[in-house]
Amino acid sequence: MSDNDTELSKWQKFRKIILITVIALLLVLGFIRLFAVQAFKIPSGAMEDTLLIGDHIFVSKFTYGIKIPGTDIKVLDFHEPARGDVFVFLPPHDRERIFIKRIVAVEGDTVETRGDTLYVNGAAVDDSHYTKHMSFGRFKDFPPFRQSKYLPDAEDFADYTLTASQFRRKFPEGKPFVVPQGMVFAMGDNRDQSSDSRTWGPVDVNDIKGQAFMVYWSFDSRSGKVRFNRIGKLIRSQSDSFKGN
């Protein structure tokens, strides 16, 4: 075998190693993309100032478990959906888009708002350090639901498929909403500028896609500048604000 043949053989082996490495990396990254982590871009200000328009975030797809296709079996379900989690999901009223909000109540909880204060199970939630309110904001009190037409035709919702005036006549002292089994109640941190469960009802846990955990890129289109101070920012669960609930 000549020196040229030896060099060619070494190069072929090296190319084979590189090819195998690239394929392995693609498979690993594909697995992570499919099963572990997904990227989303924030399109609206409903979660300000926790998340800003132009933030790009990572979402853990396995936090709440991964359902085996064609079954009701979940694997890797390390964490049940909990109060304070920022999560992505398919909303009940729009099956074509993914939404991002914060879980403020889980199944069996009673939830209501009075003015700017959120109450869960009768206790005020200490959320002033991460929520935002507008002085001109409408719909300060919940219930009633803003759009009762979106609510399911089920016994759990019977008293809430009323207009605002009908609801207040029937329940002058108020009637907190009890989150049905297998559902969570979602609200945006920008409370007066958010379309959320107060409008279209609670979210089925089967429609949850994952938990948001980090901003990996942020670009302000209005100024044309990268927000470097937001890159790597962790998205906190804020579960401590629900202590006592």
Domain boundaries, the chain: 1-35, 42-242
> What is the reported pTM?
0.81
**42-242: CATH class:** mainly beta
The one-character DSSP state at 71 is S
Structure token digits, residue 149: 């037409």
Give residues with Cβ within 8 angstroms of 80, minimum separation 6.
64, 106
**pLDDT tens, N- to C-terminus, the chain (245 residues):** 555 445 546 556 566 555 555 544 444 444 445 456 788 899 999 999 999 999 999 898 877 766 666 666 666 666 789 999 999 999 999 888 999 999 999 999 999 999 899 999 999 999 999 999 887 666 678 998 988 888 888 888 888 888 888 888 999 988 999 999 999 999 999 999 999 999 999 999 989 999 999 999 999 999 999 999 999 999 999 999 997 77
Strands of the 123-124 sheet, one edge to the other = 123-124, 117-120, 110-114, 177-178
